[in-house]
Structure 1
């Protein structure tokens, strides 16, 4: 077994934070989908934390938002039977929803193997997206009273 790199540890931190945030959304009733497959409702959540994006709480959050808007993660797609990357942005109603859906895209790329096959693809870009995604997740959790409360009262 190899020793984890700093990027490996950052990816773990991002994945853990994303999972915790998604759990909190579900715990406070921000749900969509079918009863047999409930999903976090990121669109409604984005509408409820839009102030975080309109007036970011600090320079780090503002920088993270701007990075995602100017360097959005790509989506892995299948084109003519070959894995490829699409630059098409996800559907969104607001800048807040766009950024949160892009953070979800980073999670999907990470979880489904789009960025890692034992070695990191574009490690510097991956590090930027993961670090800045963490900043955004922490800001939106802090910006929603019910989600913040669910986050603070986790069962250990």
Structure 2
């Protein structure tokens, strides 16, 4: 198929940028969260936290259950505040009718640390899968993102093996 001269089709196509569509969320914060989350998932895969099925998917439940008590032991007000926020006011799940519903934590979550880790994955899911295009409470959503980012940083802080794989460049 001859496509000579057709590059201008997409070059001249106009659409709103993601920055315009985040409706009050800080674009840099969202980008940082996605980048950190992606690298943490990479690190967890490299550290053997894989589900027993294809394709290679992180076993967040196993990781969260092994992190019981570890984040709370860190002497950080920022981390403790983030854990409390994510567990007392966790992200909701979006239903097919686009309403938001509370969602209980899985049984493997036996403390605030494991719940905060699972809540962080839900923050990622809501952002990545397009659930945050019609934001009604940008202050809450910002706090969820900041808190999830702090929890991910806390995981790297207490788990040197995960941090090593996080920083590994193949």
Q: TM-score range by the shorter chain?
A: 0.7 to 0.9
Please state if 1:67 is matched with 2:82: no
**TM-score when scaled to structure 2?**
0.79
How far 1:106 sits from its partner (Å)?
Answer: 0.5
Contiguous gaps of at least 5 residues in structure 2: 1-15
Deviations 1:61-113 (A, max 9, x none): 000001111111101112xxx22111022313222322111111110000111
Note the aligned Cα RMSD (angstroms): 2.0
Is 2:157 the partner of 1:142?
yes
Aligned positions, number: 149
* Offset, 1:3: 9.1
Distance 1:85 1:31, change over 3 A: same
Task: Structure 1: state its 5+ residue gaps.
Answer: none
Counterpart of 1:58 in structure 2 is 76
**Contact residue 28 and residue 146 of structure 1 kept, 8 A:** yes
Change (3 A) 1:121 1:11: farther
Q: What secondary structure is seen at the aligned counterpart in 2 of 1:56?
A: coil
Aligned position for 1:125: 140
Structure 2 distance, partners of 1:147, 1:116, is 32
1:103 is the counterpart of 2:93: no
After the TM superposition, which parts of structure 1 deviate over 3 Å for at least 4 consecutive aligned residues? 1-6
Q: Does 1:90 align with 2:105?
A: yes
